[in-house]
Amino acid sequence: MNTSIENDAPKRGILEELAERYFDFLRVEKGLSTLTLRAYEADLTKYFTFMHQTGKDSLSGMSIESTLAFLEASERRKSPSSRARTLSAVKGFHRFLYHEGTVGSLEIETLSAPKVLRRIPFVLTQHEIEKLLDQPDESVLGVRDRALLEVDYSTGLRASELCGLKLEHIDAERRFVRIRGKGGKERIVPYGRSAASSLRRYLESSRPMLLKQRISSFVFLNYAGTPLSRVSFWKLLRKHAASAGFPGAISPHTLRHSFATHLIEGGADLRVVQELLGHSSIATTQIYTKLDMDYLLEVHRTFHPRG
């Protein structure tokens, strides 16, 4: 009978104690986000559960054979991307133990992750972006929404970065924002004249009305005068997208993808786009070169006399 992976929490043992040290290392030395740490913790919890169930709850029991058995038992209910993340969590844990001198072998490094097909993100055309930006009305919230959408498209910020933006992060004179992104890495992102005009109008007119004489350092506020949440941003974006006649699949990340794609279409260097997006690896940014190639092929086929 094949061993299955249960969701019950395993009894605490040496593996869990070592895992705590590993997560401290990831949090402090590697600066991984809370979401990534939670995903890794969930993967390793299942790994330890499997080891306990099979009687291999000691360091000597964590062989490549037992790890392979765990991966085989878990892959039946996981997508390739989830399996790749699980293997990354397990390999990282073994690598940490090896460098700490707790285990003497890195045989697990010979295991390779399943190939994951990177999805091409959905983007809006420049004309569609213009249509979206024209949707907010002249009300207090409409002026805020216009500024919010303009700044997001002009900077490509993540939703969390945009909603967490504070007044002190903005240099209005030189038109840039200072962002502390994933892993605590700081970057400078410029924004354009149109975004600057919408932002200035919002800060001078709508924001004081939303504050209602309160004090807040956050730039974008909700009707109660408190910081706008990512969920609220998503909802208002969906509302304006629907009024523009766009599909319901549009999300805050759609503006980020569109920002990057339009830069590359305009001839921007990939390394510059990587820096603006805050990607730690150029491989993550290279997805947009595929988008640009599709655009070039479409233009060639449309306009070339023998296309």
Do residues 241 and 141 share a domain?
A: yes
Query: Residue 27: what are its φ and ψ, rounded to 5°?
Result: -75, -45
Do residues 38 and 157 share a domain?
A: no
Do residues 131 and 103 share a domain?
A: no
Distances (CA, A) of 294 to 143, 275, 288: 35, 23, 10
Instruction: State yes or no: is 158 an active-site residue.
Output: yes
Instruction: State yes or no: is 52 an active-site residue.
Output: no
Q: Which of 54, 84, 110 is the last residue of a domain?
A: 110
Residue type, 142: G
> Which candidate in 83, 256, 257, 262 is catalytic?
256
Instruction: State yes or no: is 56 an active-site residue.
Output: no
Do residues 180 and 279 share a domain?
A: yes
Residue 158 included in any domain = yes
Instruction: State yes or no: is 235 an active-site residue.
Output: no
Do residues 138 and 81 share a domain?
A: no
Residue 1 included in any domain = no
Residue type, 168: E
Specify the CATH number for the domain of residue 250. 1.10.443.10
Do residues 100 and 131 share a domain?
A: no
Residue 184 included in any domain = yes
Q: Could you tell me if 15 and 70 are in contact, meaning their C-beta atoms sit under 8 angstroms apart?
A: no
110: left (phi over 0), alpha (psi -120 to 50) or beta: alpha
Instruction: State yes or no: is 182 an active-site residue.
Output: yes
Q: Select from 62, 38, 42, 43 the least CA-distant residue to 52.
A: 62
> Which candidate in 158, 207, 240, 262 is catalytic?
158
pLDDT at 294 over 80: no
Do residues 27 and 175 share a domain?
A: no
Lowest mean pLDDT among 3-12, 35-44, 92-101, 244-253: 3-12
**pLDDT score of 220:** 97
> Which candidate in 253, 257, 262, 271 is catalytic?
253
Rg for the chain (alpha carbons), in Å? Answer: 24
Instruction: State yes or no: is 257 an active-site residue.
Output: no
Angle between helices 230-243 and 252-265 in degrees, nearest 10: 70
**In the numeric block, which tokens belong to residue 189?**
């992102």
Domain span at 25: 14-110
DSSP 8-state class, residue 148: H
| Its pTM surpasses 0.75 | no
Do residues 101 and 144 share a domain?
A: no
**pLDDT score of 111:** 59
Do residues 102 and 138 share a domain?
A: no
pLDDT classification of 135: cutoffs 50, 70, 90: very high
Do residues 149 and 190 share a domain?
A: yes
> Which candidate in 182, 187, 201, 230 is catalytic?
182
Whole-number Å distance between alpha carbons of 208 and 216: 10
Angle at 105 between CA 100 and CA 108, to 5 degrees: 105
Specify the CATH number for the domain of residue 55. 1.10.150.130
Whole-number Å distance between alpha carbons of 37 and 111: 22
> Which candidate in 175, 187, 279, 295 is catalytic?
279
Structural domains of the chain, count: 2
Q: Both ends of the chain: CA-CA distance in Å?
A: 59
Q: Could you tell me if 285 and 277 are in contact, meaning their C-beta atoms sit under 8 angstroms apart?
A: yes
Q: Which of 110, 134, 158 is the last residue of a domain?
A: 110
| Helix, strand or coil, per DSSP, at residue 170 | strand
Residue 5 included in any domain = no
Do residues 208 and 61 share a domain?
A: no
Count of beta carbons in the 10 Å neighbourhood of residue 124: 22
**In the numeric block, which tokens belong to residue 96?**
């940490």
| pLDDT (tens digit per residue) in 230-259 | 889 989 999 999 999 987 678 888 888 888
